[in-house]
Amino acid sequence: AKVSLTGIKPTGEPHLGNLIGAIRPALRLAEEYDSVYFIADYHALTTVRDPRLLRHYTRSVAATWVAAGLDPARTTFYVQSDVPEIFELNWALSCLTGKGLMNRAHAYKAARDRNVEAGEEPDAGVNMGLFNYPILMAVDILIMESDVVPVGKDQVQHVEYAADIAGSFNHVYGSSYSFKIPQAIIPDVGTGHTLPGLDGRKMSKSYDNTIQLFLPENKLKKLVRRIPTDSTPVEEPKDPDSSAVFQILDQFAPSGSADIVAETRKRLEAGGMGWGELKNVLFEVLNTELTPLRERYDELMKPGSDLDTYLAQGAEKARDRASGVLGSVREAIGIGR
């Protein structure tokens, strides 16, 4: 079977953008692909400086995958740092990757632009982990022989880089080993392929505008109330597609609730439904869907839960897969006696 691979960086509590933009689409692919899903803890180290928090977020993202329906018997499911082969291949591919390619990477360029705008040194606060980030991500992808990589729009360039790096390797060493060329798959999550957050911009930990998945009910309600709306009066017609509240509802509503979404759309367009009422609908749908997930999540977060077994077994499976590829690469490039 073809391989589907993706990773999530444990830099904060899991939020709706992760579930809708990454976890759910990946779990759908797991039904037909050989799936490989992991928690990219060493990628998080480019920004997280608190060791306890890093460990907590790693567990929390892992528990979220399983609570959302990942089946560890079917999916190869692991924590990136449990697979040392990744870090050996990282060095090898670093030596084959042009610095210029990294200079053009979006995340690095954005950091530089922000610095220049603020009148600082262009590279202020940029660590080598951030600069080399796309190489490590290419390794994540290539070492598992991935065919498709389901990711949000912001990660597409990284997958293209992985394809580029694979191409350079194959050009030089292709007669003894060739990497598969991976392709990004972008799930459709509404306008602009990104789920909006509390301020209408892309929902992102770095904008601090996320709706966390496992909030207590009253906090969830408060957050939903905070999503901005315009001042169109209740009785007037509204455009559902320019409303962040509606977009979140539309993207989140489980497949069985298509009629709730369609009816809400009709009522907004006709006039007579106010933003407050729309927010109540969104809250009810979120709360009903997330409650069983939260219960499973809380179980898994307990020390010594099944999660530890899943991750230990996953690490073994992942190392098996990775060591074969690493061995072929070492052979091809002339490393090892």
Per residue, the 3-state secondary structure of 124-168, as one string, reads: CCCCHHHHHHHHHHHHHHHHCCCCEEECCHHHHHHHHHHHHHHHH
Minimum CB distance to ligand TYM, residue 176 (Å) = 25
Among 152, 179, 253, 268, binds ligand TYM (CB under 6 A): 152
SS3 177: coil
Say whether residue 261 binds ligand TYM (CB under 6 A): no
Sign, Cα dihedral of 123, 162, 190, 285: negative
Of 79 and 273, the one with the shorter C-beta distance to ligand TYM is 79
- Strand 34-39 with 76-79, pairing: parallel
Among 35, 75, 81, 204, binds ligand TYM (CB under 6 A): 204
**Which residue(s) pair with 300 in the sheet?**
none
H or E element, residue 39: strand 34-39
Among 189, 215, 282, 307, binds ligand TYM (CB under 6 A): 189
- Ramachandran angles phi, psi of 45, nearest 5°: -65, -15
By the 8 A CB rule, do 284 and 220 touch? no
Among 4, 9, 48, 249, binds ligand TYM (CB under 6 A): 9
Say whether residue 21 binds ligand TYM (CB under 6 A): yes
Say whether residue 137 binds ligand TYM (CB under 6 A): yes
Largest CA distance in the chain: 78
The packing angle between helices 128-143 and 156-173, to 10°, is 70
Minimum CB distance to ligand TYM, residue 87 (Å) = 13
Among 149, 211, 307, 318, binds ligand TYM (CB under 6 A): 149
Say whether residue 140 binds ligand TYM (CB under 6 A): yes
Say whether residue 202 binds ligand TYM (CB under 6 A): yes
By the 8 A CB rule, do 20 and 165 touch? no
Say whether residue 195 binds ligand TYM (CB under 6 A): yes
Say whether residue 43 binds ligand TYM (CB under 6 A): yes
Minimum CB distance to ligand TYM, residue 275 (Å) = 21
Say whether residue 278 binds ligand TYM (CB under 6 A): no
Q: Which residues bind ligand TYM (CB under 6 A)?
A: 5-9, 17-18, 21-22, 40, 43, 137, 140-141, 149, 151-152, 154-155, 158, 189, 194-195, 202-204
